[in-house]
């Protein structure tokens, strides 16, 4: 298992293979301080507890970084031989250290905080979310009152008449008619007047109207507009869109508008992990991103075979002309699998709404009716000797 000690990525199919790789890697390069990066706190804690037994048996110190830890705890854990954390905590610790006013406030292992990193689900971190910036904001501006006004103006404007939309880069452009109507509604002679600027607020209101959809990019909960991570389906309560977009969304939904802020520090995951002189990672889907890993990081991908022959049958991708056709196929496939006694997990990129789509097709007016269909199949499932409780879920 020398590959992980070099600058490579491993395409591994099973989790047991991943843990074996980490374990053997530690035997090989135990004298280096390094970081094991996962995608959330739970996985970081689980892996630190599980693999930490082996590391400590070998005389290595093991650290764990979790959300909510104080600076003293972080400083102690970063000094360990092996530190487990998630990509978000690592990035924000780096940004906060760069904003620190004295060396006593630093938490990472300075002057060389980066040595060697092993990234789990590396394609998700470096490719899927690689260009998403981590932001630390500073003093708030005093323009919050303009957002609700701009939102009302945006509702007056008609697409293709008062403004045009470019879906490729999520941009909008006002037409002459749109500029005239907006200026009349705002009682201003120039949307771009430096002393009374309205253009940015109107444009953001139009973007919120056209590109930011409730229950897709965000949800409204307890009077707040909260971002949905479209890759994981999780709500990210502490994350906010920058450049006034989040305030425009809040104004559109009629919730309390939190003051605009100024970005004082930011970094993308791709830029962050390029700071490591030695970088490695693991995932079950690295091979499809092989060219991008080579282009962005000059890191080759090596496929690790399964310890047993792979009997899985990979079916070709199916394309559907309509959403109705797609969800009808999903309903039929789920029903078929349950009647065979096979538990099913339906994964989507949406946090809400998919259950009803599946359940409404062909007379299934409510999802409960679809569930009752699966309950009828329990007898068949029991014949198969299946003891799992069948579930339908969205990630």
pLDDT (tens digit, 9 = 90+) per residue, 231-272? 777 888 878 888 889 999 999 999 999 876 677 889 999 999
So what's the pLDDT on residue 392? Answer: 40
User: What confidence tier does 224 reach under pLDDT thresholds 50, 70, 90?
Assistant: very high
Q: How does the average pLDDT of the chain come out, rounded?
A: 81
All structural domains of the chain, each given as residue ranges with its CATH number in brackets, are: 3-133+268-303 (3.40.50.300), 142-259 (3.90.1440.10), 323-383 (no CATH)
- 13 band by pLDDT with thresholds 50, 70 and 90: low
In angstroms, the CA 146 to CA 279 distance is 46
Give the torsion sign (CA, 81, 84, 87, 93).
negative
Q: How much is the pLDDT for 14? A: 54
* Max CA distance (Å), the chain: 76
- For 336-374, what is each residue's pLDDT tens digit? 888 888 888 777 655 444 444 444 444 444 445 444 444
Q: Are strands 235-236 and 224-228 parallel, antiparallel or unpaired?
A: antiparallel
> What's the CA gap between 266 and 262, in Å, rounded?
11
Burial 127-146 (b: 16+ CB within 10 A, else e): bbbbeeebbbeeeeeebbeb
The pLDDT value given to residue 380:
39
Q: What is the 3-state secondary structure (H, E, C) of 151-203?
A: HHHHHHCCECCCEEEECCCCEEEECHHHHHHHHHHHCCCCCCCCCCCCHHHHH
* pLDDT computed for residue 395 by the predictor: 35
**Model pLDDT for residues 109-165, shown as the tens digit of each residue:** 898 899 999 999 999 899 988 888 888 877 666 678 899 999 999 999 999 999 999
In what helix (H) or strand (E) does residue 137 lie, and over which residues does it extend? strand 133-140
The string over 17-56, giving b where at least 16 C-beta atoms fall within 10 Å of a residue's C-beta and e elsewhere, is: bbbebbeebbeebeeebbbbbbbbbebbbebbeebbeebe
Collect all residues with Cβ–Cβ distance below 8 Å to 160 and sequence separation of at least 6. none
pLDDT band at 25 (very low <50, low <70, confident <90, very high): low
Q: What is the pLDDT of residues 160-188, one digit of tens each?
A: 999 999 988 889 999 999 999 999 999 99
Q: Rounded to whole angstroms, what are the CA distances from 294 to 6, 84, 126?
A: 14, 26, 12
CA distances from 37 to 3, 24, 34, 90, 235 (A): 18, 17, 10, 8, 21
Q: How far is CA 110 from the centre of its chain?
A: 28
Average pLDDT over residues 311-323: 86
DSSP bridge partners of 63 = 83
Q: Is 0.75 surpassed by the pTM of this model?
A: no
Can you give the pLDDT at residue 230?
Answer: 75
| 122 in Cβ contact with 284 (< 8 Å) | no
pLDDT band at 97 (very low <50, low <70, confident <90, very high): very high
> How many CA atoms within 13 Å lie on the side-chain side of 238?
9
CA distance 356 to 368: 9
Q: How confident is the model at residue 313 (pLDDT cuts 50, 70, 90)?
A: confident
H/E segment holding residue 282: strand 278-283
* Secondary structure (3-state) at 27: helix
What are the structure tokens assigned to 32, written together?
Answer: 């280096």
Q: Cis ω on the peptide bond leading into residue 111 (within 30° of 0)?
A: yes
Helices marked H in 259-351 — which ranges?
269-273, 290-297, 323-339
Average pLDDT score over residue span 38-47: 93
pLDDT digits (tens, 9 = 90+) for 293-311: 888 888 888 888 878 888 8
């Amino acid at each position: 298992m020398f590959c992980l000690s070099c600058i490579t990525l491993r395409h591994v199919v099973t989790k047991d293979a991943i843990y074996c790789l980490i374990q053997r890697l530690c035997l090989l390069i135990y004298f280096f301080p390094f970081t094991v990066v996962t995608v959330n706190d739970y996985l970081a804690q689980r892996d630190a507890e599980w693999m930490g037994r082996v590391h400590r048996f070998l005389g290595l110190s093991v650290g764990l970084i979790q959300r909510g830890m104080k600076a003293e705890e972080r400083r102690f854990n970063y000094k360990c031989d092996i530190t487990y954390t998630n990509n978000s905590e690592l990035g924000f610790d780096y940004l906060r250290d760069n904003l620190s006013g004295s060396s006593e406030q630093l938490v990472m292992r300075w002057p060389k905080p980066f040595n060697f990193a092993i990234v789990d689900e590396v394609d998700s971190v470096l490719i899927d979310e690689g260009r998403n910036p981590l932001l630390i904001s500073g003093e708030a501006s005093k323009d919050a009152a303009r957002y609700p006004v701009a939102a009302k103006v945006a509702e007056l404007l008609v697409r293709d008449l008062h403004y045009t939309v470019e879906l490729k880069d999520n941009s909008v452009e006002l037409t002459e008619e749109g500029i005239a109507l907006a200026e009349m509604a705002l009682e201003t002679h120039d949307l771009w007047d430096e002393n009374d600027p309205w253009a940015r607020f109107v444009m953001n209101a139009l973007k919120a109207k056209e590109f930011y959809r409730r229950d897709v990019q965000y949800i409204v909960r307890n009077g707040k507009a909260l971002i949905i991570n479209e890759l994981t389906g999780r709500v990210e309560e502490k994350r906010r869109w920058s450049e006034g977009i989040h305030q425009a969304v809040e104004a559109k939904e009629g919730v309390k508008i939190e003051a605009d802020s100024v970005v004082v520090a930011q970094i993308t995951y791709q830029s962050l992990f390029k700071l490591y002189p030695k970088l490695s990672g693991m995932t079950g889907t690295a091979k499809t991103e092989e060219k991008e890993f080579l282009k962005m990081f000059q890191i080759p991908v090596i496929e690790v075979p399964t310890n047993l022959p792979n009997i899985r049958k990979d079916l070709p991708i199916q394309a559907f002309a309509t959403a109705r056709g797609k969800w009808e196929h999903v309903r039929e496939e789920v029903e078929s699998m349950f009647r065979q006694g096979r538990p099913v997990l339906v994964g989507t990129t949406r946090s809400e709404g998919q259950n009803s789509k599946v359940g409404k097709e062909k007379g299934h007016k409510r999802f409960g009716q679809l569930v009752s269909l699966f309950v009828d199949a329990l007898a068949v499932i029991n014949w198969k000797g299946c003891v799992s409780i069948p579930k339908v879920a969205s990630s």
